Amino acid sequence: MSIRISKSKFVAGCQCLKRLYWQVHEPELATQPDGATEAIMQQGHDVGMLARRLFPGGVEVCERSLDQAIRATRELVANREVPAIFEGVFEHDGVLVRVDVLHRRRDKRWRLIEVKSSTQVKEEHIDDVGIQSRVVSRSGLDLASVCLAHINRNYVFDGGSIDVRRLFKIRNLTRRVLRLQPKLTFQLRAAFTVLSMPKAPDIAPGKHCTSPVTCEFFDCCNPPLPDDHIGYLPRLHASAEEELEEMGVESIHDIPDDFELSEIQRRAAACVKSGEPWFDREGLKAELAKLEYPLFFMDFESVNHCVPLFAGMRPYDQLPFQYSVHSQKEPGAATEHHEFLATDANDPRRQFISSLCAALGESGSIVVYSSFESQRISDLASWFPEFTNRIGAIQARLFDLLPVVREHVYHPAFAGSYSVKSVLPALVPDMTYDGMEVANGQAAGVAWGLLIRGTVDAVERGKIEKALLDYCGQDTLAMVRLLKMLRAVPM
C-alpha cells in the first residue's frame, strides 16, 4: 500500500522519526491534547484567518476530500481572476501540503506564504515552508518567493480594528529554502524508509522529545524517573547531566564527591541522600523578620493572547483578569479574603488595579511567590500612568517568598523545582490542588476564555466562575499556610 504523508507529519519526522512512525501507524498511543493545547491550536487558526485580510479577494479551498481539494486548487490556479488562494492543496511523490496563502503576483508568478503565530522565524519553520515549496513547485507552479508571516511583537493596538499590515511581518525565506533542498531529499527518504518498517525505529529519548515541541508520545519513551535521578537536581545544566551519564551516573547517590555542583545542587543532593528536609533556620528567621503587619498574600491570573484585545496592548502582553488577596492584621489573627474576577468581555484592567489598590491598603508587607505580580502591575502602570505612584508604593511593599525558599529550604519531594506546586505538597501535605476543576494557570486562562466569550449557559458560567475563584484563592491561602509552616520551623 502506498503511503502519503502530510506536511505536519513530515515536520514531525524532522523532529523524530519514531514520532512520525507512531503518528502514521499507531496514533492511538498519543496523549490527547488538553484544553491549553487546544487553545493554542485555536489561536493559530484565528491568526491564520486574520492574515487573509492581507490578500483581499482571496478564495479558500473548502472541499473535504483531498482529491477534490487538489482539483479545486488547480482550477483556482488556472483562473487568473483569483488574486490569492487560501488552503490550497498539492501532492507530489506521496507528500500532501495545504498552503496557508498562495498570492498571485502581477507577473503571474506566485508567492507562497506560511502563517505562524510566533513573533519570529524559528528553525523548525524552515522545514515547514521548505517542504511546501518543494511540493508546490514540483506540482507545476512557478514560485517567485517563499515567505513566512509572523506576529510583530511591537504592534500596539489602538482599540479600533486590528491593523493586519502592522500586526504581521512577512519574511522572505526563499534563499534559505533553496539551500535546504538536499537536506529535504535526505529527510524524505528517511521518512518513507521508516514508514515501511514493521515497527517503530529504536531511537533513544533526548532533547528532541521536547524540542521544538513536546512530543505527544513523550510518555511512551520517557517513563517516570526514579526519585533519586540526577535530573531532579535544581538547575542542572544539560552538559553536566550528559557528563554524569557518560560516567554511568544516573542516581544522585552515585555522584562523585569531587563533581562540580552549585551550593544549591549540593544541598539538594544531600537531602535526597538523607531523605530529610533541610532548613537554614537562622537565615529563615532573618528573612521572615522583615515582614511587617498587616500581611497581605497576593496572586494574579492572566492571559497573553497573540492578538491584543484592548487599547495600548501589544501581541502576547499579559492581561491580568483575576486576583486573590488574603490578609492578616496581626500574628495569629484570622485571615480575610478579597478577590476580583472579570466576568465579561470588557477591558478589566482599570477595574482590576482600582480594586487591588483598595484591597491592599497603604501599609504592611505584601507576600507573593515569584516576580510575576510585580511585572504585571508595572504593565498596568504603563497603561494607566495615573496609578504610577500607587503602584510604586505597592511594589515597595512586596515580599517575594520564592527566593527565601530557594536559599533557605529544600525537601527531597521538591524534585528540583521550587514552584509553589512542588513546594506546597512537600511542606504542607494536607493542601492539594488535586481534584480542583481549575488546577493551574494555563487551565485558568482557558476557563476565563470560555467565560468571556459568552458561549456557555448560566449554569456553566456559574461553575466556571466558582472554579476560577477557588483556584486563585487556593494560591494565596497556600502562601498563608506556607509562611505559617516556615515560621514554625524550630530554631
Report the alpha-carbon distance of residue 425 to residue 414 in Å, rounded: 9
Q: What DSSP line would sit under 260-285, residue for residue?
A: ---HHHHHHHHHHHHTS-EE-HHHHH
pLDDT of residue 63: 86
User: So what's the pLDDT on residue 401?
Assistant: 97
360: phi > 0 → left, psi -120 to 50 → alpha, else beta; which?
alpha
Flag whether pLDDT at 180 surpasses 90: yes
Which residue in the block uniquely carries the three cell numbers 508546490? Answer: 136
User: What is the arithmetic mean of pLDDT over 297-307?
Assistant: 97
Distance between CA atoms of residues 105 and 411, nearest Å:
63
* This model's pTM is above 0.75: yes
Phi, psi for residue 466 in degrees, rounded to 5 = -60, -45
Which pLDDT band holds residue 36 (cuts at 50, 70, 90)? confident
Mean residue pLDDT of the chain comes to: 96
- What's the whole-number mean pLDDT along residues 307-326? 98
Per-residue pLDDT, averaged over 164-176, amounts to 98
User: What pLDDT is recorded for position 159?
Assistant: 95
Are 138 and 94 spatial neighbours (Cβ–Cβ below 8 Å)?
no
Question: What mean pLDDT comes out for the span 300-312?
Answer: 97
Task: Work out the end-to-end distance of the chain between its first and last CA atoms, rounded to an integer number of angstroms.
Answer: 73
DSSP string, 350-373: HHHHHHHHHHH-SSS-EEESSSHH
Distance CA 455, CA 451 (A): 8
Q: What's the pLDDT at 233?
A: 97
What's the pLDDT tens digit per position in 184-205?
A: 999 999 999 999 999 999 999 9
- Collapsing DSSP to helix, strand or coil, 110 comes out as strand
Are the beta carbons of 81 and 71 closer than 8 angstroms? no
Q: How many CB atoms sit inside 10 A of residue 69's CB?
A: 20
Question: Parallel, antiparallel, or unpaired for β 366-368 and 398-400?
Answer: parallel
pLDDT value at 1 more than 60: no
What is residue 64's predicted lDDT score, i.e. its pLDDT?
83
Judge whether 14 and 188 are in contact, CB under 8 Å.
no
Query: Residue 95's pLDDT band (boundaries 50, 70, 90)?
Result: very high
